[in-house]
Amino acid sequence: MATVKRLIECVPNFSEGVNATIIQNIADEIRNAKGVQLLDVDPGQATNRTVVTFVGEPEAVIDAAFLAIKKASQLIDMTTHTGEHPRMGATDVCPLIPISGVTMEETVEYAQRLGKRVGEELGIPVYLYEEAASQPERKNLATIRAGEYEGMAAKLLKPEWKPDYGPTTLPVKHGVTAIGARDFLIAYNVNLNTTSVRRANSVAFDVREKGRIKRKGGKLDGDILRDADGEPLREPGACPGVKAIGWYIAEYGVAQISMNITDINQTPLHKAFEECNHSATRRGLRVTGSELVGLVPKQVMLDAGRYFLKKQQRSIGVSEDELIKIAVKSMGLDELAPFDPRKKIIEYLITSESGRLVEMSLTKFAHETSSESPAPGGGSVAAYVGSLGASLGAMVANLSSHKRGWDDKWEYFSELAVEGQTIKDTLLDKVDEDTDAFNQIIDAIRLPKATDAEKSTRRSAINDATRHAIEVPYSVMKLCIDAYDFLEKLIETGNPASISDIGVGVACLDAAIISASLNVKINCKDYHDEAYVTKMLNDTNALVTVSQDKRNDLISKVEAVILG
């Protein structure tokens, strides 16, 4: 089993959004740091704030974060800072977020280490917040930041607000920093067709988790209603895990609802958008679009695309690219600036796609296959041909879902289209996986063999790589067998005008299975485990027989529909 790479994300917010030179100098500290990848630099002029996003292994991340905080403290003067966003220091906040292979508990420890280093080496007062908070009342960043920069000198002197690290007096030039550990947070702004901050706040209060304070008679100027302990009673908002305020952005000439979505499981992005839309409509306003500040997980955009397609009673069994396009257009994410998924979705930035076969054009893939290089070879081509068979099935399912007069069947065909897309995407992954498996064999063969120990290590590596090279094409065969059942459902229920496309899909699956079987067999020749080889050859031959029977049966059914 492959080792999961240990990754954490860091999203420091710096109190500078106008001076491009300062922003670049801070970003360069991260860009030039070893072991991290700078993903996004998102300055805002009206907020006078820049959100930077980078990822890497934990040790490298906290080193890069320290350097960026240090540079910000040297370049940003808080005595002259103004902006729409609440702030308390040159580096206002620096959260760490576990991405893979790292627990939240470990992330808290890294936040503590970074905080201690910033406090001791840079002389900056540091408060730990969210999961790293040292006291319950410090968990909420807004509570720590209350009073902002202008109120921090007095706040630091209070015993209950002694910082977790660093001095108890305010460094006037660079202020105070909050460092924490938290789950993934989405910074999201929804645009309104108004300039009124008061009306934007009314929408924000409808939406945010803590809602609004209850008043006597429900009137804005009514007396505050309180509980037995004298605390104000609140009417909760529509979106749990959401913090929101209204503000006016002169740069855009509109008011916005500015949100932090801290729990995307309770409130996905599309729900936050819809609730803002509902509230605005009730108040005679209109949502005109929205913007993402920083990055977003891919699943959030896919879920949004599916949500809006379902509202239209359209099939959700479309490609990733189409789902993301629907999400962008439905929420107006491109209203204020172009929205490039390759620059805004975190997975696309973490994983470089430039060398993948499946990212090539058809022409380039054909040229690469026909070159003197042995990879990509038959295994990759088999997986690709199989993916085309599944793609044709998904196409017919989508066409059937949208067929006039079949409105009551759209959900059934949408589910079939999703099944086809899933098989297609998995087979596409196998295109590169097969070539990678071949390259692993070559790498193993090239290992040193001067000593007995080296020879043993080399033999073991070759054998492990060969087994993987057997299992990849075998998995292609099994996926294609599953796809036959998917196509058979469409022969029986799909749009008969597209029946020939199903027949071509069947032929593609059969070709892929035969092709993949040849790759299983040739790699079995070099694997030194007789029992395993015998089983794999028997199972492979059995799948070929199943494929031949399925192909003959389904092609006969296709021809029967064509001939009437």
**Distance (Å, whole) CA 252 – CA 104:** 38
What are phi and psi for residue 467, nearest 5 degrees? -60, -40
**Distance (Å, whole) CA 530 – CA 537:** 11
Instruction: Give the number of other Cβ atoms within 10 Å of residue 263's Cβ.
Output: 16
Exposed, middle or buried, 462 (CB in 10 Å: 0-12/13-18/19+)? buried
Give the active site residue among 92, 206, 303, 434.
434
Residue 208: both structure tokens together: 């945010």
DSSP conformation letters of 504-560: HHHHHHHHHHHHHHHHHHHHHTT---HHHHHHHHHHHHHHHHHHHHHHHHHHHHHHH
Are the beta carbons of 315 and 398 closer than 8 angstroms? yes
Residues 6+ apart with CB under 8 A from 220: none
Q: Is the peptide bond before 496 cis (omega within 30 degrees of 0)?
A: no
Give the residue among 541, 529, 483, 498 at the shortest CA–CA distance from 395.
498
Alpha carbon of residue 486 to chain centroid: 29
Give the active site residue among 85, 164, 206, 501.
85
Give bridge partners of residue 289 from the DSSP assignment: 191
Are the beta carbons of 180 and 131 closer than 8 angstroms? yes
Looking at residue 216, what DSSP letter applies? G
Residue that the structure tokens 């002197």 belong to: 157
Catalytic, 434? Answer: yes
Question: Active-site residue numbers?
Answer: 85, 434
